[in-house]
Structure 1
């Protein structure tokens, strides 16, 4: 029987999927090893312990969903177009279904809370800056950023918790999701 090799990144993505599905307690070595088709030895080849896996998985989430996501929009010169692209991407891209609501639900966990606080601060600062670029004064830009981020968190929680009741939140370009998303984008984007 050939030996399966699992990369560090595969372990990290498996940990993120487990976090999304079962919370912090779901990030456990034996079930992840079984799911990946490897032994515990594979885990210890890449990580010191479970805490290291959780921390590195959250750092990967931070890098991809915030740092890299923001950087990916930097080529868009017009701030209003950049805002709309940011909203659309944030509200429709769900690389690991249910991950952000699970992370928010575990905000009191010391490892999760530290990363979540940093991500939230960075996202709010970025939104505030974008709203200032479209012409809002500093205080109004911050208020709009907070309201927008709250709407985002509600949207992804509804998408996770009540997809049958609120199909409009589906990550899709199909109606009624497309119409609801277009309406939300209009509501969140300041107009001249």
Structure 2
């Protein structure tokens, strides 16, 4: 039997689309992203995606000129989600540096701000593609610069701000990549200590409470 289409719809209770259907550009992107994350860029193929959704591949060309056009759109989506999400959080107003870092750590909790699995998939893709590596390097630089500016807003000297920004950013990447089997409760319990390591300052109780309330919407606590 043909595989049922796997589409991302706004209404999770809606019936899946079957039969002679039309799919949107967003559907193609969403399913391509699923495959990129689960199987790697080599498996993002037009015919395979069409079969996965139960549609003719001819509909693909209503939205994309080529497979490369789709891949370019995936990379743009990644930038608009992950890079924009982290940069935006780093620029969010906060009274203290500890509150500012907690704003950034919302990216670890909320996949709509930062899709960790997608970030890893793009990094794997970059190992096979020079142009993608260039885009990744540029995005990493934007993220580190945003974090550096965040520390500088709280009067950290330039060199120290760069060092703290890089430590914070690359630690978080490594932390997520390690796939540690830690509960949300454990991570929240460690948060005050992590903040002291990355900022040198004690967080305020109300900052921790706000972060716990926010992350509790996404973590099993």
What's the TM-score once normalised by structure 1's chain length? 0.81
C-alpha distance 50-183 of structure 1, shift in aligned 2 (>3 A): farther
The 8 Å contact of residues 20 and 99 in structure 1, kept in 2 or not, is answered as yes
Q: Does residue 83 in structure 1 map to residue 97 in structure 2?
A: no
Q: Distance in 1 between matches of 2:29 and 2:126?
A: 19
Q: Which residue number corresponds to residue 111 of structure 2?
A: 94
Residue-by-residue CA offset, 1:134-171 (whole Å, 9 max, x unaligned): 22111111111111111111022112xxxxxx212x6x
Q: Does residue 51 in structure 1 map to residue 68 in structure 2?
A: yes
Q: Does residue 127 in structure 1 map to residue 147 in structure 2?
A: yes
1:115 offset after TM fit, Å? 2.4
C-alpha distance 186-35 of structure 1, shift in aligned 2 (>3 A): farther
Q: Which residue number corresponds to residue 22 of structure 2?
A: 5
C-alpha distance 107-17 of structure 1, shift in aligned 2 (>3 A): same
Q: Which residue number corresponds to residue 138 of structure 2?
A: 118
Mark the structure with the bigger radius of gyration. Answer: 2
Consecutive unaligned residues of structure 1, counting only runs of 5 or more, are 160-165
Q: Does residue 152 in structure 1 map to residue 172 in structure 2?
A: yes
Q: Which residue number corresponds to residue 201 of structure 2?
A: 191
1:53 offset after TM fit, Å? 0.6
Structure of greater relative contact order (alpha carbons < 8 Å, 6+ residues apart): 1
Match for residue 175 of structure 1 among 179, 185, 192: 185
Residue-by-residue CA offset, 1:62-82 (whole Å, 9 max, x unaligned): 012222453366552435223
Name the count of aligned residue pairs.
Answer: 181
Match for residue 104 of structure 1 among 112, 116, 123: 123
Consecutive unaligned residues of structure 2, counting only runs of 5 or more, are 1-17, 203-221
1:44 offset after TM fit, Å? 1.3
How large is the RMSD of aligned CA atoms in angstroms? Answer: 2.4
Q: Which residue number corresponds to residue 163 of structure 1?
A: none
Q: Distance in 2 between matches of 1:92 and 1:148?
A: 16
C-alpha distance 186-157 of structure 1, shift in aligned 2 (>3 A): same
Q: Which residue number corresponds to residue 64 of structure 1?
A: 81
| Structure (1/2) with the larger helix percentage | 1
Deviation larger for 119-128 or 7-16 = 7-16
C-alpha distance 12-143 of structure 1, shift in aligned 2 (>3 A): same
